[in-house]
Amino acid sequence: MKILICFGTRPEAIKMAPLVKRCKENQAVETLVCVTAQHREMLDQVLDFFQIIPDIDLNLMQANQTLNQLSARIISTIDEVLLKEQPDWVLVHGDTTTSSMVALAAFHRGIRVGHVEAGLRTYNKYSPFPEEINRQLTGRIANAHFAPTQKAYDCLINEGVKKEECIITGNTVVDALQWGLNITKHNEPKELEQILNKIEIGQKIILVTGHRRENFGDGFIQLCKALAQLAKRSDVEILYPVHLNPNVKDVVQQGLGNLPNIHLIAPVSYPVMIGLLKACDLIISDSGGIQEEAPSLGKMVLVTRATSERMEGIEQGFAELVGTDAPKIISKATQYLDQPKTLSKEQNPYGAGKAAEQILNFLLKK
């Protein structure tokens, strides 16, 4: 069996790395890794960390390219790969432009598609944008659906997916996190030590991330207002790896650049992010992946989005939707800083780190 695993962004690389490892270890499978490099530098950091060498690198990242330009380039370049390699399966992940366009190109060539992290839904086509439609489009094309949770599985079945094409696997992000923790256990990155040395011992650490398109403009302005207010507390230090997109970076630098206990740092590598997640007391983020990683570390997440396709963590108390309303962010952050919530890692709704193994076994049986 020949499998082509395709991804293009840092989050995809993290979540597909355990599956690449499993497939490469199995002698019954010929595995090729193809990256579009939709994100270049951040993607390469993850590939280096997990020691993954792509067999095919399309290197499609260009400054300021539109979604339509990127989509067209992915379809045209991956078509040549599909024609040459003729895989039995193409595996894509989640909700990126890479995933949906590679899936569409494979469909046009009559090649079966496996969708990792399938079935997540908000049913609001503009939130998250463009991820919700990417996910639904890939879901209509896929021949095998690897749902991370029961809720995701139920969404697929309700949409008419055949039960024999769908399986609950847990989320590969837990596999990746466990693998990453094992790698860094005795070899923590020096950059992590340098960042944490800036924090006074005994201070409460708030870790912040943000990148969603739907929060550009007023959303990030409101987030900055909330963080500036929280920074007035004498017991708090805020760590914020700032996304390089000017729609984020410029607003954040202007709103928070001169506050002494807010540390605006460059985007960090995956192993450093693992360390920051372990070290912090509270997370404020619009990231989907962090909503899934945090439960494994017993950390609370305030989700700065209007909707979430990861309601399991919210329903089980690992996260709370706060949107980009500054007063609400301040109120909830204050609540969890003053009265920290005890979270059981064993109740993580996103699985136990066996997702990649289950996905490969499903494909081998097919």
Active site residue 108: no
Catalytic, out of 109, 112, 140, 211: 211
Catalytic, out of 73, 243, 305, 310: 243
Catalytic, out of 117, 175, 237, 292: 117
77 neighbors 60 (Cβ within 8 angstroms): yes
97 neighbors 70 (Cβ within 8 angstroms): yes
Q: Is the peptide bond before 327 cis (omega within 30 degrees of 0)?
A: no
Annotate 42-75 with b (16+ C-beta within 10 A) or e (fewer). Answer: bbbbbbebbebebebbbebbeeeeeeeebbebbe
- Residue with the two structure tokens 């193409």: 90
Catalytic, out of 12, 95, 237, 312: 95
Active site residue 112: no
Cβ neighbours around 81 below 10 Å, total: 21
Catalytic, out of 131, 132, 292, 312: 131
Catalytic, out of 39, 40, 121, 213: 213
Cβ neighbours around 180 below 10 Å, total: 22
Active site residue 117: yes
| Closest residue by Cα to residue 120 from 96, 104, 103 | 96
Active site residue 211: yes
Active-site positions read 95, 117, 131, 211, 213, 243
